[in-house]
Structure 1
Amino acid sequence: MKLLNLIFKLIDLYSWVLVIYAMLSWIPPLRDSKVGEIISKISVPYLNLFKGLPLQFGGFDFTVVVGIAALQLIERFIYIIYNLLF
């Protein structure tokens, strides 16, 4: 159960990193800072998984929203599998 809690906390932490990445897009100088570069290096590889999907509408990019939703679905799937097995 401790491992499961750790996995859930890591998923939640990564979701927050994605939120921060999205907010950095509103302030370009922050994205170019050292912290912004680190957050981009952490976020971009995962978000590239969704780049092939048509997620840009009216000047807005919903890639981060879909990425967070996918993480939440993975978290729920892990929880369901864990409850079925144990």
Structure 2
Amino acid sequence: MVYNYLILAYILMSWFPNARESSIGQFIGRLVEPYLSIFRRFIPPIGGVLDLSPIVAFIALRFIQSGVMYLLDMLFSLFR
């Protein structure tokens, strides 16, 4: 969940001038940008402005979270 909030904060920072250039913006960018760049390779911005890759990144992260929770549930149910 924390990573979801970091991605959201990074997206919202793009709406404010120079927010991503601040020390907090650069820190969040170092954490989030490697993950988002995976999706940006396959999903170009619409009209050169609207970047939809974070939406796909959120959906992929949700599937990953669900899969990990399912695997942990199966693993712990073996020990009951």
The TM-score with structure 1 as length reference comes to 0.76
| Separation in structure 2 between the aligned mates of residue 45 and residue 35 of structure 1, nearest angstrom | 16
1:55, distance to aligned residue in structure 2 (A): 4.6
The TM-score with structure 2 as length reference comes to 0.81
Specify which structure has the bigger relative contact order, considering alpha-carbon pairs within 8 angstroms and separated by 6 or more residues.
1
1:81, distance to aligned residue in structure 2 (A): 2.0
Unpaired stretches in structure 1, ≥5 consecutive residues: 1-11
Q: Relative to total residues, which structure has the larger helix share, 1 or 2? A: 1
Q: Relative to total residues, which structure has the larger strand share, 1 or 2? A: 1
What percent identity do the matched residue pairs reach?
A: 27
* Equivalenced residues, count: 75
Matches within 5 A, 1:3-82: 12-58=1-47, 59-82=49-72
Q: CA RMSD in A?
A: 1.4
1:66, distance to aligned residue in structure 2 (A): 1.2
1:30, distance to aligned residue in structure 2 (A): 1.1
Larger Rg: 2
Unpaired stretches in structure 2, ≥5 consecutive residues: none
